[in-house]
Structure 1
Amino acid sequence: MRRFLLTALFLAACDGGSGPVEPPMEDRAAHCPERDPVMCAEDVGGLFPFTRHGSTVGLDDQYGDAPCVAGGGVTIEDVSFRWTAPWAGRFTFSTEGSAIDTVLTLRQGACGGRALACSDDAAGGAHSELTADLDECETITVVVDGAGVDDVGDFTLRVTGYETLCGNGVDDDLDGLTDCDDDDCFTPECAEPGDDWPEDWTALEWGVLEETNARRAEGAVCGGEEFGPAGPLEMDPLLRLSARLHSKDMAEQNYFSHDSLDGRMLGDRVAATGFGGTFLGENIARGQPTARAVVDAWMDSEGHCRNIMNPGFHFLGVGHALSAGGEPFWTQNFAG
């Protein structure tokens, strides 16, 4: 009898990686409709890439709640910026380099807009980081707050982007790298030609990405909780490396667990590749013969379904390997 096994994992991750090469800031949203003045935030237009160093000392507490903080209350000085996306794309907001323990919140529009996303202690550190998909000319308010009553002082806020169009010959995120030369571009067209992973395994991995994104686009109910449609995941080379190595290790050593036999856990395996992210999740499976079959199985399991549908995840690595006896092993590594 063929057996099919599944297990899911979600946890905080570690940070790492270097920042982009940044050109001078300029307002790249000047073509967008003029915005009405506001008193609740500094309007910085579409400055991109955006970097601001400052201090929260002596400022008002304009935003007293943060959904990612226990109890929702952050009742100390904060600073806020109204920022407009110069084009449709994926943007990262980070307070790495701040002298205080920060909480970062993205709010819809300006002033009283609802919280779209919130981050506290990204990657196990004191800084905060969020990734958001925004429409061209979409305006949000970025709020930098302190995590505790003593967290008042110097902060750093950066807004950077991703190369989301990988065949247009344009440096879309202005980091000095274009299309397949940019690590953001990891597609079948940009996959390294020297990759010695079996071609049929690689094809199955891309199939899992396609099936996963199809389910995210549809929305789903996971364990009684309804998830609306979520944006597509991008294949990340480092996450794929960690997923491949774990599938290969399980297949070769005949075990099935999120913890490697040498004691390494998901965070350890991902950190070893050099990947830096905000939080991680992992799905593993054993025995399913096709990409559709394994994604079907994951979607029928509450924990795996939640990982697949989590709108906070933006990146995916998929690893497929066969044991000596031909049994399939599958790993999905997710990151925000």
Structure 2
Amino acid sequence: MIARCFSLFLLIFLLTSCKKDSPKVPLIEVDGKTGMLAAVNKLREAGCKCGQDTMPPAPLLRWNDTLAIAANVHAKDMFYNNYFSHTDPDGSVPIQRAKAVGYTGGSVLENIANGYNSLTDVILAWKNSEDHCKSMMDSSYKEMGAARANEYWVQEFGKP
């Protein structure tokens, strides 16, 4: 009887003390290929003012799935690990993350944002930030990928 009670106690202890997976938070993701790309290309087509500098129209960007994967990995990493930086906790920077998922281009620019609920709001915030705006308007970059994990947004611009 004592052995049976001990076994039952041990079973209950093991079942209740096992580490549970962290709850899966449903992610809100952006359709970057149609939404984000169209919004950035609209800015590039018209030209815009970035800080004190007037940026002329720039060639339209094309979508790059590999850059989108890099953006998605970084957005989700920031969300799940609760940080906000171009450098991840392991020390990787945008070009390293892009290369790690197979990007073969030579250079990557990254815009990140946090706290915006809509594509319109985040594009406006980046447009109103001189450096972010110039990243979106830089005519030497020809392709982009983008992703969102809840309120964490990432744009990756690449030179093929």
TM range (shorter): 0.7 to 0.9
2:137 aligned with 1:309? yes
SS of alignment partner, residue 201 of structure 1:
coil
Q: Please list every run of at least 4 consecutive aligned residues from structure 1 whose deviation after the TM superposition is greater than 6 angstroms.
A: none
Inter-partner Cα distance in structure 2 for 1:233 and 1:271: 20
For the Cα contact (< 8 Å) 1:205–1:291, is it kept in 2?
A: no
Q: Which has the higher strand share?
A: 1
Gaps of 5+ in 1: 1-197, 323-327
Inter-partner Cα distance in structure 2 for 1:319 and 1:312: 21
Q: In structure 1, what is the equivalent of residue 154 of structure 2? A: 331
Q: Which has the higher helix share?
A: 2
Over aligned residues, Cα RMSD in angstroms? 1.7
Gaps of 5+ in 2: 1-25
2:147 aligned with 1:293? no
SS of alignment partner, residue 283 of structure 1:
strand
Aligned-pair distance for 1:288? 0.8
For the Cα contact (< 8 Å) 1:205–1:319, is it kept in 2?
A: no
Inter-partner Cα distance in structure 1 for 2:112 and 2:40: 14
2:37 aligned with 1:209? yes
Aligned-pair distance for 1:203? 2.5
Inter-partner Cα distance in structure 2 for 1:228 and 1:281: 19
Tell me the alpha carbon deviations over residues 282-321 of structure 1, each in whole angstroms, 9 at most, x when there is no partner: 0000011111110100000000000000011110010111
Aligned-pair distance for 1:224? 1.4
For the Cα contact (< 8 Å) 1:204–1:290, is it kept in 2?
A: no
Within 5 A, what are the aligned runs for 1:1-336? 201-203=29-31, 206-322=34-150, 328-336=151-159
Aligned-pair distance for 1:227? 1.1
Tell me the alpha carbon deviations over residues 178-219 of structure 1, each in whole angstroms, 9 at most, x when there is no partner: xxxxxxxxxxxxxxxxxxxx9962425631111111111110
Inter-partner Cα distance in structure 1 for 2:134 and 2:67: 19
Tell me the alpha carbon deviations over residues 197-251 of structure 1, each in whole angstroms, 9 at most, x when there is no partner: x996242563111111111111012121221111111110110000000000000
For the Cα contact (< 8 Å) 1:204–1:291, is it kept in 2?
A: no
Greater RCO, CA 8 A, separation 6+: 2
Tell me the alpha carbon deviations over residues 161-193 of structure 1, each in whole angstroms, 9 at most, x when there is no partner: xxxxxxxxxxxxxxxxxxxxxxxxxxxxxxxxx
Identity rate, percent? 34
Inter-partner Cα distance in structure 1 for 2:32 and 2:95: 24
For the Cα contact (< 8 Å) 1:314–1:334, is it kept in 2?
A: yes
- Paired letter, 1:297: A
For the Cα contact (< 8 Å) 1:240–1:333, is it kept in 2?
A: yes
- Paired letter, 2:97: R
